[in-house]
Structure 1
């Protein structure tokens, strides 16, 4: 940690390869981040999509201490663990929304909380209805606040859990398996190690996932003007 730089907190690879006392704790950190990003309002700035994609690339490293001795089983179990944490995260967000009611709309902006994100998630939820719980998984910021909105509007708990489970599994398995098998494909077929291009991968994923949100904001401002 002598060479620690605060900018590392924006790099998903930092969390994956993190060690404490010589022990690799990347798996625990990744699982916590998934829960935090979907269950804690302060988690919206955490690297969700890029983290899971890179976690798929590093799945062998992450599962080293609890390896099942089979590559497919290891990556499947890892994706399953992430899915479960995502489900619990959304449940926490829903519970918070149900208990807080309109409190968040009256709360002042702070470094970790911006009211505009709440309104964006509300508009997204109103547009897509129950399916928003699934779609929100693939959109930064929105996925943090969507379950909170579901709790505030008292979405039926059974329907919420149904879409919560589907969304979490789709998000986790698609991102992790894509990273895992694309890494193997590029290495075996083209002799290209994607680990050497982590920065470009992260930038590409962040740009791809945030573009829909930024485009919607841009269109709204143009319409207003």
Structure 2
């Protein structure tokens, strides 16, 4: 993966418009059922975000591209499920991933509406919960009321760690002035919140898996 990403990142660094398009497509495809479990969207977003401190890309446009792609991907998957209902869960290509589909449905039943929020941070079911929410009859207003805030948290949580890491390297290399210390503290604070959120979601994920295992009847 690294052998592919390194020349790719170097190329898009010289073509900002292509970088923003790549960010958009990475976030969109990561939200598509089945495709999202194959495309390394999070890795691409994190790698491209490292170009922000050097000025190749702008933070605002990176966040916008990632958030827009995620909203379109989640929204499209939800509407497919909403229109076809449970039938979509029993059709190709979802039938090739019965374990993930079952896990996504169990996740949705366990956390209810909040499953849409939590799943945005839990691969690979991130790509399956929106279509599952639609297939199980979740109203559109309720879906978007949770999905949009989730994406607005998810995008900075994926972008800012890369910005922080590269900014810290620049700082140690003496490439930034002391006047920029406040900016780094702000980035560090946001990244710390993202890490805490990630740990909390990991704990919830562990409880979900443990609860599902306990619920299975023993032979």
Whether the TM-score (by the shorter chain) exceeds 0.5 is: yes
Q: 1:39-188 residue pairs with structure 2 within 5 A?
A: 39-59=32-52, 64=56, 74-107=58-91, 113-188=96-171
- Greater Cα shift, 112-121 or 141-150: 112-121
CA distance in 1, matches of 2:10, 2:87: 38
CA distance in 2, matches of 1:114, 1:210: 22
For the 8 Å contact 2:101–2:128, the answer to whether it is kept is yes
**TM-score normalised to structure 1 length:** 0.68
CA distance in 2, matches of 1:14, 1:94: 35
Q: Which runs of 5+ in 1 are unaligned?
A: 1-6, 68-73, 192-204
Structure 1 residues 176 and 89, CA gap change in structure 2 (3 angstroms): same
For the 8 Å contact 2:23–2:62, the answer to whether it is kept is no
For the 8 Å contact 1:83–1:172, the answer to whether it is kept is yes
For the 8 Å contact 1:16–1:29, the answer to whether it is kept is no
CA distance in 2, matches of 1:210, 1:93: 24
Structure 1 residue 35 corresponds to structure 2 residue 18: no
Equivalent position of 1:71 in the other structure: none
Structure 1 residues 12 and 91, CA gap change in structure 2 (3 angstroms): farther
DSSP-derived class of the 2:31 partner: helix
For the 8 Å contact 1:12–1:47, the answer to whether it is kept is no
CA distance in 1, matches of 2:202, 2:5: 16
The two structures, once aligned, show a CA RMSD in angstroms of: 3.6
Q: Which runs of 5+ in 2 are unaligned?
A: 175-194
Per-residue deviation at 1:29?
Answer: 2.1
